[in-house]
């Protein structure tokens, strides 16, 4: 049954609740632009007489490109995980998501700083910390959006119950600790710190146990969906 306009745009103390479809569409566009800009930071070697050698010397740019692209890809995946379960957004969510997109758009610059530092052999600690802090800010914003949306289950859909919401919260909180650990290691051993942050990618591609909990199973089975408070 199609929702009425009054139900679709319900007034709250923080403004009108809106459908999140436009939020995800805009977020997808910004993410696509960010990953495209990454490759523009890889410069073609000027000396074509020793082209193979010149291409090999670009390994820091390749490294920064691969790590940052995969991390942005993971941000995109988690963004969809989050908004798959958010049925309405208000002005607080819109603001937090805008700041998140601002951080994502900044990531190509952080990647270029990282590549330059490893290419020149100077400032590697600062570059790894700078790169890591950019992703740490993204993790902070993810947690802020999700915890705000799931408070009293007020913005969440019937596709997720309290257990599923807690499972997503646990995964997002782990990101804060994981990336922070990589940043701290980067202060001591830049290569190790970057490796820890990069390892974050492989773990976060794994499904979130409990994300599709009782509420989704009941929906799929034709049973009633129950919204429980998280």
The C-alpha atoms of residue 1 and residue 142 are separated, in whole angstroms, by 31
Position 212 scores a pLDDT of 65
Tell me how far apart the alpha carbons of residues 120 and 196 are, in angstroms, rounded to a whole number. 22
* Higher pLDDT, residue 154 or 65: 65
| Other Cβ atoms within 10 Å of 109 Cβ, number | 14
Tokens of 146: 């999700």
Which tokens hold the place of 229? 């408070």
Compute the residue count for the chain: 230
Percentage of the chain modeled with pLDDT above 90 = 57
Whether the CB-CB separation of 100 and 138 falls below 8 Å is answered with yes
Q: At what angle do helices 124-150 and 162-188 cross, to 10 degrees?
A: 170
Instruction: Output the six-digit token pair for 198.
Output: 């990069």
H or E element at residue 72? helix 59-84
pLDDT at 125 over 80: yes
Q: Is the pLDDT of residue 229 over 50?
A: no
As a 3-state breakdown, the chain gives helix, strand, coil percent values, each rounded to 5, of 70, 5, 25
CA–CA gap between residue 210 and residue 171 (Å, rounded): 11
Q: Give me the residue spans of the domains in the chain.
A: 14-220
Q: What is the enclosing helix (H) or strand (E) of 52?
A: helix 51-56
How would you label 165-195 residue by residue, b for 16+ Cβ within 10 Å and e otherwise? bbbbeebbeebeebbeebbebbeeebeebbe
- Considering the entire predicted model, what is its pTM? 0.82
The whole-angstrom distance between residue 151's C-alpha and the CA centroid of its chain comes to: 20
Q: Are 109 and 156 in contact (CB under 8 A)?
A: no
**Position 220 pLDDT exceeds 60:** no
Indicate if the pLDDT at residue 158 is higher than 90: no
- Under DSSP, is residue 138 helix (H, G, I), strand (E, B) or coil? helix
Mean pLDDT of 81-85: 90
Q: Predicted confidence band at 19 (pLDDT cuts at 50, 70, 90)?
A: confident
Pairing label, strands 15-16, 11-12 = antiparallel
- Span 126-132, average pLDDT: 96
Cβ 145 vs Cβ 99: under 8 Å:
no
What are 12's strand-pairing partners? 15
Average pLDDT score over the chain: 84
Higher pLDDT, 2 or 156: 156
């Amino acid at each position: 049954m199609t929702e009425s306009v009054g139900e679709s745009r319900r007034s709250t103390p923080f403004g009108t609740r809106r459908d999140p479809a436009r939020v995800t569409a805009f977020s997808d566009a910004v993410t696509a632009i960010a990953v495209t800009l990454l490759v523009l930071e890889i410069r073609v070697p000027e000396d074509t007489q020793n082209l193979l050698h010149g291409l090999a010397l670009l390994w820091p740019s390749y490294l920064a490109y691969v790590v940052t692209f995969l991390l942005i890809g993971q941000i995109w995946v988690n963004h969809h995980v989050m908004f798959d379960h958010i049925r309405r957004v208000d002005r607080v969510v819109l603001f937090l998501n805008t700041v998140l997109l601002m951080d994502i758009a900044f990531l190509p610059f952080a990647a270029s700083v990282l590549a330059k530092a490893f290419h020149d052999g100077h400032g590697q600690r600062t570059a790894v910390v700078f790169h890591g802090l950019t992703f740490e800010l993204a993790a902070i914003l993810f947690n802020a959006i999700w915890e705000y949306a799931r408070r009293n289950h007020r913005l969440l859909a019937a596709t997720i119950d309290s257990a599923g919401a807690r499972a997503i919260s646990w995964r997002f909180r782990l990101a804060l600790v994981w990336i922070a650990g990589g940043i701290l290691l980067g202060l001591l051993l830049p290569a190790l710190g970057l490796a820890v942050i990069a390892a974050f990618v492989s773990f976060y591609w794994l499904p979130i146990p409990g994300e599709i909990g009782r509420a989704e199973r009941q929906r799929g089975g034709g049973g009633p969906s129950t919204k429980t408070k998280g």
